[in-house]
Amino acid sequence: MMPWIRLLLAAVIALGVAAVRPATAQSYPDRPIKLIVPLEAGGPVDTVARAAAKQLTERLKENVNVINRGGAAGMLGMREVMSAAPDGYTLAFGSSGTLAIAPALYGKENYDPSSLVPVALVAKLPHVLVVAPDLPVKSVKQLADYAKANPGKLNFGGALGMPPHLMGALFKEQAGLDVTFIPYKGAAPSMVDLLAGRTQFTFDALTVLYPLIVQGKVRPLAVINDRRWPQLPDVPTMVESGFPEFTMLPYLGVLAPPGTAQSIVDKLDAAINDSVATEEMKATLTKFSAFAQPGSAQDFAAYIKTSEPIWTKLVELSGASLR
């Protein structure tokens, strides 16, 4: 082939690629999107993800399909997104557990999700401190006083290295208590032992505890939030109860593979923010004792960055490690 022909072909190909790229960005999405939830189906996180996917499907005019990839503390699903093509068709429904706690537990040399591109924060999940109903305390101060009067006799439970464990460790340290952490595989077995009296208190998500509170099976002492929860207006916050550092909130949000174009991130961000503003989505979040947290992709990235050291510090305080 003559050299000038090769140059001409190269120029035509380059012009073709340049012409196609903007059209591809403008037409996104033109096929179904996978939203990877790195947990088993059926839990509160999965339910919120499915509600968000339904809203996104309506706005993007393409199916957003939730794919559950449970295993390895959420790392299996997150790694799938980390290695996916950066075309916006594979997304992660991440959380404080998979983005901040797991790296601290396993070590960033084993798992580091920081290369993922934050798209939008969807919701925050307030937690609550509860006690078994037969424990003779009705406030955080009374619980601390009771624990000090009965050193070594009170137990609290939760999944190793997860928010219930970390919050319990912080409470133990700040109140100067001699209490024992009992590890469980998840919230369900932890609640069984709390109701049976084998543990005496726990911190867990309102998504888990609110039904038990309403039924009178556990007694709420304080909400971990910067303000009182509307459905529990008489329950003070931990800050109001004398613990100013208790403001951490587990969160849920959407992330994209490394290298995803800003135009795609912006389109998804706008669609997600529109979604969480709908009455249907607000009702779903309220049902699961979560609240919508709209904002830009930059806001989400900043929140991840500022909250990561908090969770890392709590993991270190708890002594939990899975390396």
Q: What is the pLDDT of residue 79?
A: 97
Give residue 25's pLDDT.
56
Is the pLDDT assigned to residue 223 strictly greater than 80? yes
Q: In what order do the strands lie in the sheet with 291-292?
A: 64-68, 33-37, 90-95, 251-256, 117-124, 291-292
Give, as one character, the DSSP assignment of residue 236.
P
Q: What is the mean pLDDT of residues 70-90?
A: 94
Biggest CA–CA distance in the chain, Å, is: 93
Instruction: Give me the residues paired with residue 254 across strands.
Output: 93, 120
Contact assessment for residue 154 and residue 200, using Cβ atoms and an 8 Å cutoff: yes
What pLDDT sits at residue 11?
47
Identify the pLDDT of residue 8: 46
Residue 21 pLDDT > 70: no
CA 137 – CA 146 distance, rounded (Å): 8
pTM, two decimal places: 0.84
Q: Using an 8 Å Cβ cutoff, are 116 and 256 in contact?
A: yes
**Residues 2-30: what's their mean pLDDT?**
54
Are the beta carbons of 139 and 221 closer than 8 angstroms? yes
Q: What is the mean pLDDT of the chain?
A: 90
DSSP string across 16-47: HHHHHHHHHHHH--SS-EEEEESS-TTSHHHH
Tokens found for residue 150: 């009965």
Give the distance from CA 214 to its chain's centroid. Answer: 24
Residue carrying the six token digits 């109001």: 240
Rounded to an integer, the average pLDDT of 133-142 is 96
Domains of the chain, start order: 31-125+250-318 (3.40.190.150), 127-224 (3.40.190.10)
pLDDT at 20: 41
Q: What tens digit of pLDDT does each residue of 239-277 get?
A: 999 999 898 889 999 999 999 999 999 999 999 999 998
Rounded average pLDDT over 84-100: 96
Q: Return the higher-pLDDT residue of 70 and 33.
A: 33
Provide the pLDDT for residue 241: 97
Question: Would the pLDDT of 288 be above 70?
Answer: yes
Residue bearing tokens 């609550």: 128
Mean pLDDT of 270-296: 88
DSSP 8-state code for residue 91:
E
pLDDT value at position 186? 80
